[in-house]
A and B are shown apart, each in its own frame.
Chain A
Amino acid sequence: MLTPQRTSGTYGLMAEFETPAEIMEAAKKVHAAGYRFWDCHTPFAVHGLDKAMGIKRTILPLLVFGAGATGAIIGFCLQAFTNAASFSVWALVWVTGYPFLISGKPLMSVPAWIPVMFELTILLSALSAAGLMLLLNGLPRLSHPLLSNNRFRRATDDRFFVVIEARDPRFLRSKTEAFLKTLGAKHIEVVEDR
């Protein structure tokens, strides 16, 4: 079994590429070589790169569906309770429903409640889609070894980077560096971990 050869103070190795086609080829090879803690950093979502890297489809849509369903249920309960119920419940404070009787309409006027149920479904789905996406991505994160690297600044401009982390079991500085060279990287450099 390989023991992680982690040099303290090294985050990983960074290889720079100039075009989407180059990083696509490189990503396929890094994935095939069996690395696990590695990533590509690109100025935009390169089409198909996630598949080439072997990234599994995210469970985000399922979570968002759950949040949307919760929104619909909250919307129904909120309206049924506040406009049709005559009992009290504890929701941080004791609150009591109020059966509104308007123009002799039924208390449980479900058709009239659809718009608010719909809006709350959308609201919770959208907030969870954005919030959970950030959460699963480990964002917000205000400090990261890569963000301290000057060359890496072009990852949000016009350069494409492959980064293999030092914590990867297969990471061996000399071997990994040689491997990255075979991928045709324009530049390879060690990323320091402050």
Chain B
Amino acid sequence: MSSTSSQSATKGFIDTDNTQQPNTGRVPLVLNMTTFGEVTHQVCRVAENRPPLAWYVAFAVCLSMVGFLGFCVNYLIFTGVGVWGLNNPVMWAYDITNFVFWVGIGHAGTLISAILFLFRQKWRTGINRFAEAMTIFAVICAGLFPGIHVGRVWFAYWLFPIPNSMDMWPQFRSPLLWDVFAVGTYFTVSLVFWYIGMVPDLATLRDRAKGKFQQFAYGLAAIGWRGSMRHWHRYEVAYLLLAALATPLVLSVHSVVSFDFAVSQVPGWHTTIFPPYFVAGAIFSGFAMVVSLAVPARQLFGLKDLITLRHLDNMNKIILLTGCMVGYAYSMEFFIAWYSGAMYEKFAFVNRAFGQYWWAYWIMVSCNVITPQLFWFKAVRTSIPLMFILSIFVNVGMWFERFVIIVSSLANDYLPSAWDVFIPTWVDIGTMVGAFGLFGVLFLLFCRYLPMIALAEVKSVMPAADPHAKHHASEGSH
């Protein structure tokens, strides 16, 4: 008895190297488990049992960060945007940097859930649920910043075409308004996609729940799902439609965000490369964030048989690919700045690398272009500590990318007499740190109470799920 209990207790906490298997044919996506019941138990126990001590510690830290965020935001609203280090000409700095950073983080979730779904990448099933959760929480953090940066937040409703007594409307030719619609739609669609995907798994939690309150809460959230095949039929069509809709949406969102800059005439912003460059950067930073979250989560909650080394290896390959794309964009920006012959454009880029923000630029290049090259080596891609460190580097680098683009372009534009330096205040920094706390709190609550892995989807890609398994056993896998 003791041997079986100790075996089930360590199950999922030990890494199995499944990256050596050849890429041909069907590679098992779930390790050390063959039955559906085992998978159900492995995932549901996270939400059913008390979380490990580390969860409480992390939650306390993140919650106090949220408290500080609340303080900073209130201080800003009651005092005015002057509490930030903004000046004329640097009227966008940490606020918009954080906005673009968080929106970008969200993109990996949609890429995993929608684009990899359309490409029939079955390994996505292990990571899509919490990557989607990450998307939603990241977009919540992103939405905070433009909201408070308008200064007089009580006029934030001016962003929307709401009939009012002034007979005024938003100006729809402005990319800033496109952004409102793009980010608003993105949040809504991501939330719907996430929730619809989760309904069958919420039903699993409902059916396993012991306590009255859990039964009621999960029962309400599962809206009466009972796995009917007639329902599944429409469900699968709806899921495919949502994936097909989310794919162009995710590409549009960061393109529209990049229009905020590209449509203006500031040197360093006014470039046509921005939309694809921003989208690649978004996916790059988002995947790094997925790795940063997956590594501790699978360790803490014993999900190593479901989020296997192979999953992480695949994600690191995507980080490498998108990192190279971002590196290409950096060098192409420089080439075009020179090739265009535009004096101000040329200055803007030389100034980025060697001007007053040179350190930010070189942090960006080191973290986004140089260190991800280590992922060419399989030993690095499959080493948990190394991939964690490199993914944190990418997060840092991508934050600095947005900072460099926004601040260095604004600080030194056409007229040297109008130049200035941006120095963040403690409120700037506190709001930025607080947003990470908000993200952490939401993510920890998600891990604790909701199905972290898309159970129904994982089951459907297991060998046991093949309804023709018996008949075609002799023909081999197909």
Contact = CB atoms under 8 A, between A and B. Distances in A.
Interface of A: 19-21, 23-24, 27, 39-50, 53, 55, 57-58, 60-61, 64, 78-79, 82-83, 91-93, 95-98, 100, 102, 105, 109, 112-113, 115-116, 118-120, 122-123, 125-127, 129-130, 132-134, 136-137, 139-144, 146-147, 152-158
B226 interface: yes
Given A47-B467, A91-B163, A126-B245, A115 B232 contact: no
B204 interface: yes
Query: Which residue, B40, B188, B207, has most C-beta atoms of chain A within 10 A?
Result: B207
B467 A46 contact: yes
Contact of B467 (A20, A82, A83, A136): A20
B248 A122 contact: yes
Interface stretch (B1-9, B84-92, B172-180, B305-313): B172-180
Contacts of B259: 115
B263 to A, nearest CB: 9
B386 interface: no
B235 A115 contact: no
Given A55-B233, A115-B256, A156-B204, 7 more contacts: A21-B468, A21-B470, A21-B471, A43-B204, A64-B241, A83-B172, A105-B173
Nearest to A105: B173
B208 A153 contact: yes
Contact of B456 (A44, A92, A123, A153): A44
B229 interface: yes
Given A24-B467, A118-B252, A133-B237, A39 B228 contact: yes
20 contacts: A20-B466, A21-B470, A44-B200, A44-B457, A44-B460, A45-B229, A45-B236, A60-B238, A105-B173, A109-B173, A119-B182, A120-B185, A126-B241, A126-B249, A127-B188, A127-B189, A130-B193, A133-B238, A147-B224, A158-B35
Nearest to A75: B181
Contacts of B163: 91-93, 95
Contacts of A60: 234, 237-238, 241
A127 B177 CA distance: 21
Given A98-B169, A123-B185, A129-B245, A142 B227 contact: no
Contacts of B246: 126
Contacts of B237: 57-58, 60-61, 133
B224 A144 contact: yes
A95 to B, nearest CB: 5
A143 B219 CA distance: 9
A134 B246 CA distance: 19
Query: Which residue, A57, A78, A157, has most C-beta atoms of chain B within 10 A?
Result: A157
B300 interface: no
B384 interface: no
A21 to B, nearest CB: 5
